[in-house]
Chains A and B, each alone.
Chain A
Amino acid sequence: MSPHPSELIKTELQPHRRVSWRLALAIGSAGLLLWLLLDATTLEHNAKASPVGTRRTVALEILRPFAGFARLTGISHVASLSNGALGRNALDETGNGDLKIPRFHYLPTPTRSTKPVRSVLIARPTVADPLRVLILGDSLGLDVGQQLEGQLSALGVVRVTLDGRVNTGLTRPDYFNWPAQAQADLAMQRPQVIVGMMGANDPQDFPGPPDIPFNSPAWRAQYAANCKQFFSLLVSTGAKVIWITEPPMQEAGLNLRVALVNQIQEAQAKAVGGISLLHASAVLGGPGGNFASYLSNGQQIIAVREPDGVHITPGGSQIVGAGVIAAMRDLLHIALP
């Protein structure tokens, strides 16, 4: 192996004008302050969407005067105009507007319909008349959804659409509005079966004012209402829903918090009706339903959870996917090959 370019190229080809550190600090700070003014409303909007807590409070306190000044002087119009030119909803005077949450998986073949249409479940899907399945989820839902999409597509008679958004859930519609997104998905895809999995991001306060602390009676009531609204929307078009609850988490505190989320989701799914629950802890849990990094099927050991103790490996996701397909066959009585 011959010498690397790093050893051949001089790190400094030509001397530039050098400045003192104080001047560098002054130029850099001036640049940052100007940028803060230009982007204050966007940054304030993003800060509002972050999890409730000290970090959010401090960010909002710092950004508020900048955003106020930007609105007062009309500087905020620069950001609004730029967003508008890019086809994004411009921020209004209070800093509200569409957040730029990247969609993980674009819907490949939208139908022409713009309104939800009642779907009729087909018991015997064929290549010519495939079963339409919509998978919705957060990052864990995406873990499962990506494998499930492959498993279902391999059957040859299922058309799958996966709509996953990382860092989302049902606690913060101000950050990402799942009911609105699901409504659009339902209208475009007219699914006959919906598979949903989200909730690991939900153990957090509802933003106020006043903030509603996690696990308080008010929080439990609000979260239950959000779940009920979402589940009611999913079943409203006649689609059959399979809802996957969260698997156990490695960290004990998070596991307890997620257990509460599961409990509320399960109660609301039963209250709404028409929803088949698949308990991820039953297929991904170890003895007693506890967290397990590995599972054995008697012949092979499989790593089912990622090292972060939260996410699901492709192998673990295939186990959950197999559970979903089994539920389609056994609970929904769909004749899949």
Chain B
Amino acid sequence: MLFPTIDFAIFFAVVFTGSWLLSARPSPWKLFTLASSYVFYAWWQWRFVGLLLLATGMAHLGASAVYRYADQPRLKRASLWLSVGALLAVLAYFKYYGFFAVNLDNLAQAMGLGQIAPLIQPTLPIAISFFTFMAISYVIDVSRGSLLPASPIDLAVYLAFFPHLVAGPIVRGAELLPQLRRRRDPNGIDFTRAGYLILGGLFKKVVISSYLASAIVDPVFASPSSHSAIDVLVAAWAYACQIYCDFSGYTDIAIGLALLLGIKFPVNFDSPYTARTLQEFWRRWHITLSRWLRDYLYIPLGGNHGSRGETSRNIALTMVLGGLWHGANWTFLIWGLMHGLGQVLGHLRRGRLSARGLLIPAGPLTSIRQRFLTFQFVCLAWIFFRATSLSNAQALLSRLGSGWSTPSSVSIWVLVLIVGVLSVQYLRLEKLEGILNRLAAVPLAVQALGIAFGLFVITTLGPSGVAPFIYYRF
């Protein structure tokens, strides 16, 4: 079920009413929320509800075991590895098996060994990367002692709660589980903030992201040879804005829906294109994934506690695996590698400057230059992320080098939207809070009119059919 559909609006109206009617009775509320979430998931792929249950069962057994064996380090470690390994094995089978089997068989064939791995292409269940990562973080947090094991029903609701289920944010157990146990205030809904987030998210997705996709990104990426170098350049910028509006739009809607149900999610985006370095970019982009990678991959690998070489290796490996998290494709691997190597170079440069005492706060001009260069590098990497194959990426890059004499077909609206999306990122958060406060003070009847007008603008400006969110694929 897609968020921007009438189906979902009806579904949510029913769930919202049921959820608050049952809010004083924790057990029925949890069962209702769980059933609603499974219906939401089954609407897409009913066959894979069993997989969600399996992940929940594995996380429950794993967390129970590591908690039970807290005083027996070997058993605890074995339980942890077993449960995390089982969760990763399921993810690997569905997401990476086909890719590795083909490459392994081709390698074996080249070495004269024949076919080694059976060629199967499993259907990728929606949301598997998200609920698997949440399940893994839950087991590891229990193992680290930062979280107590939850009851099976609490854990099931935590993993399946529909606002975050399909494309995040990747919420930690410590963030959501206590909220499931606490009684929510039926008179304390931050309606203005929720409405702003949902309408804003819909506008970003339905209007901006859809327009940029159909007006420039899809045509240019589909056929680089028929477009000019300027088209390719603008398409890369436009894709940066498209994926930001698409993914942050989804997250805004998810956060808004959860708020209406009395649940708070962590933020997932913080003006990423204002970043001055790649390291800063990753503290602002898909925040809940990058902190997951930091806490459950980068730090266990050794983080920045080893030598400079070890730290560089850890950064590069984390980013490459982060790239592969998005899918089994060489394009994602290169995208991750670019970000990894970019961060390593930045890390080494900062280390060198720091050792010489030259690391001083950047002036305004330096800051502008850093932001510009970081954005261009991110856009260059987005070309690999969006490309359908390495040859597609290569065609785009070669067009960027050779297509300067071809006339451009970029429309003024594409440029206006790109400038608009980038400019909004520089708005200060306090100003937004001020706007929200003023909106909250508006009479409720006017707020209802505002909702109607906002939806009308979105449906009028948007296309009739809305493409699924980009991150649904991951």
Interface residues of B in 20-65 (CB under 8 A from A): 20, 23
Q: Does B291 contact A (CB under 8 A)?
A: yes
Residues B460 and A86 in contact, CB atoms below 8 Å apart:
yes
Residues A314 and B389 in contact, CB atoms below 8 Å apart:
yes
Q: Does A255 contact B (CB under 8 A)?
A: no
Contact with A along B158-187 (1 / 0, CB 8 A): 000000000000000000000000000111
Contact with B along A1-25 (1 / 0, CB 8 A): 1101111010111101111111111
The docked-state distance in angstroms from the alpha carbon of A32 to that of B223 is 40
Q: How many A-B residue pairs have CB under 8 A?
A: 216
Q: Does B284 contact A (CB under 8 A)?
A: yes
Contact of A299 among B109, B186, B219, B395 (CB under 8 A): B109
Residues B192 and A16 in contact, CB atoms below 8 Å apart:
yes
Residues B226 and A153 in contact, CB atoms below 8 Å apart:
yes
Contact of B225 among A4, A42, A100, A150 (CB under 8 A): A150
Residues A293 and B119 in contact, CB atoms below 8 Å apart:
yes
Residues B214 and A307 in contact, CB atoms below 8 Å apart:
no
The docked-state distance in angstroms from the alpha carbon of A100 to that of B466 is 11
With a cutoff of 8 Å between Cβ atoms, the chain A residues found around residue B440 in the complex are 16-17
Q: Does B444 contact A (CB under 8 A)?
A: yes
The docked-state distance in angstroms from the alpha carbon of A99 to that of B290 is 41
The docked-state distance in angstroms from the alpha carbon of A55 to that of B303 is 52
Q: Which of B67-75, B136-144, B263-271, B334-342 contacts A (4 or more CB under 8 A)?
A: B263-271
Q: Which of A103-111, A116-124, A321-329 contacts B (4 or more CB under 8 A)?
A: A103-111
Residues B223 and A39 in contact, CB atoms below 8 Å apart:
no
With a cutoff of 8 Å between Cβ atoms, the chain A residues found around residue B450 in the complex are 31
The docked-state distance in angstroms from the alpha carbon of A12 to that of B429 is 11
With a cutoff of 8 Å between Cβ atoms, the chain A residues found around residue B7 in the complex are 55
The docked-state distance in angstroms from the alpha carbon of A14 to that of B6 is 32
- Shortest A256–chain B CB gap in Å is 19
Q: Does B376 contact A (CB under 8 A)?
A: no
By beta carbon, the residue of chain B nearest A162 is B223
Residues A293 and B447 in contact, CB atoms below 8 Å apart:
no
Interface residues of A in 116-160 (CB under 8 A from B): 142, 146, 149-150, 153-154, 160
With a cutoff of 8 Å between Cβ atoms, the chain A residues found around residue B310 in the complex are none
Q: Does A267 contact B (CB under 8 A)?
A: no
The docked-state distance in angstroms from the alpha carbon of A162 to that of B226 is 10
With a cutoff of 8 Å between Cβ atoms, the chain A residues found around residue B187 in the complex are 18-21
Residue among A30, A153, A301 with most chain B CB within 10 A: A301
With a cutoff of 8 Å between Cβ atoms, the chain B residues found around residue A25 in the complex are 13, 16-17, 20
Interface size grouping (class) on chain B: 35 or more
- Shortest A69–chain B CB gap in Å is 15
The docked-state distance in angstroms from the alpha carbon of A305 to that of B6 is 32
Contact of B186 among A17, A20, A29, A293 (CB under 8 A): A20
Q: Does A204 contact B (CB under 8 A)?
A: no
**Residues A27 and B460 in contact in the complex (CB < 8 Å), given A16-B440, A17-B192, A167-B465:** no
Contact of B303 among A1, A100, A167 (CB under 8 A): A1
Q: Does A183 contact B (CB under 8 A)?
A: no
By beta carbon, the residue of chain B nearest A1 is B294
With a cutoff of 8 Å between Cβ atoms, the chain A residues found around residue B279 in the complex are 1
- Shortest B218–chain A CB gap in Å is 6
Residues A24 and B189 in contact, CB atoms below 8 Å apart:
yes
Residues A16 and B464 in contact, CB atoms below 8 Å apart:
no
Residues A21 and B186 in contact, CB atoms below 8 Å apart:
yes
Q: Is the interface of B mostly helix, strand, loop or mixed?
A: helix
Contact with A along B227-257 (1 / 0, CB 8 A): 1000000000000000000000000000000
Q: Does B288 contact A (CB under 8 A)?
A: yes
Residues A13 and B429 in contact, CB atoms below 8 Å apart:
yes
By beta carbon, the residue of chain B nearest A11 is B264
Residues B121 and A9 in contact, CB atoms below 8 Å apart:
no
With a cutoff of 8 Å between Cβ atoms, the chain B residues found around residue A13 in the complex are 429-430, 433
Q: Which of B352-360, B377-385, B451-459 contacts A (4 or more CB under 8 A)?
A: B451-459
- Shortest B62–chain A CB gap in Å is 26
Contact of A19 among B106, B123, B191, B225 (CB under 8 A): B191
Residues A32 and B9 in contact, CB atoms below 8 Å apart:
yes
Q: Does B210 contact A (CB under 8 A)?
A: yes
Residues A104 and B214 in contact, CB atoms below 8 Å apart:
yes
- Shortest A288–chain B CB gap in Å is 17
By beta carbon, the residue of chain A nearest B189 is A24
Residues B460 and A82 in contact, CB atoms below 8 Å apart:
yes
Q: Does A83 contact B (CB under 8 A)?
A: yes
Q: Does B4 contact A (CB under 8 A)?
A: no
With a cutoff of 8 Å between Cβ atoms, the chain B residues found around residue A20 in the complex are 186-187, 189
The docked-state distance in angstroms from the alpha carbon of A13 to that of B264 is 13
Q: Does B102 contact A (CB under 8 A)?
A: yes
The docked-state distance in angstroms from the alpha carbon of A83 to that of B17 is 35
Contact of A301 among B109, B288, B436 (CB under 8 A): B109
Q: Does A173 contact B (CB under 8 A)?
A: no
With a cutoff of 8 Å between Cβ atoms, the chain B residues found around residue A154 in the complex are 225
With a cutoff of 8 Å between Cβ atoms, the chain A residues found around residue B409 in the complex are 106, 108
Contact of B227 among A16, A31, A108, A302 (CB under 8 A): A108
The docked-state distance in angstroms from the alpha carbon of A29 to that of B465 is 23
With a cutoff of 8 Å between Cβ atoms, the chain B residues found around residue A65 in the complex are none
Residues A38 and B452 in contact, CB atoms below 8 Å apart:
yes
**Residues A104 and B452 in contact in the complex (CB < 8 Å), given A16-B192, A31-B447, A307-B122:** no
By beta carbon, the residue of chain B nearest A161 is B226
Q: Does A184 contact B (CB under 8 A)?
A: no
The docked-state distance in angstroms from the alpha carbon of A59 to that of B6 is 9
Q: Does B370 contact A (CB under 8 A)?
A: no
**Residues A5 and B267 in contact in the complex (CB < 8 Å), given A25-B17, A35-B456, A293-B98:** yes
Q: Does B193 contact A (CB under 8 A)?
A: yes
- Shortest B403–chain A CB gap in Å is 12
Residues A301 and B283 in contact, CB atoms below 8 Å apart:
no
With a cutoff of 8 Å between Cβ atoms, the chain A residues found around residue B464 in the complex are 46, 49, 99-101
The docked-state distance in angstroms from the alpha carbon of A308 to that of B195 is 35
- Between-chain CB contacts (< 8 Å), 12 pairs: A1-B294, A1-B298, A12-B264, A16-B190, A24-B260, A28-B451, A82-B456, A150-B391, A153-B226, A294-B119, A303-B121, A307-B123
Residues of B within 8 A of A (CB): 6-7, 9, 13, 16-17, 20, 23, 98, 102, 105-106, 109, 115, 119-124, 185-193, 195, 210, 213-214, 218-219, 222-223, 225-227, 260, 264, 266-268, 270, 279, 283-284, 287-288, 290-291, 294, 298, 303-304, 388-389, 391-392, 395, 409, 429-430, 433, 436-437, 440-441, 444-445, 447-452, 455-456, 459-461, 463-465
Beyond the given A31-B451, A149-B225, A293-B119, please list 18 additional residue pairs across the A-B interface where CB-CB is below 8 A: A1-B294, A4-B287, A5-B270, A14-B437, A16-B193, A16-B436, A28-B191, A28-B451, A31-B448, A99-B464, A101-B465, A103-B214, A149-B223, A150-B223, A154-B225, A162-B223, A300-B109, A301-B105
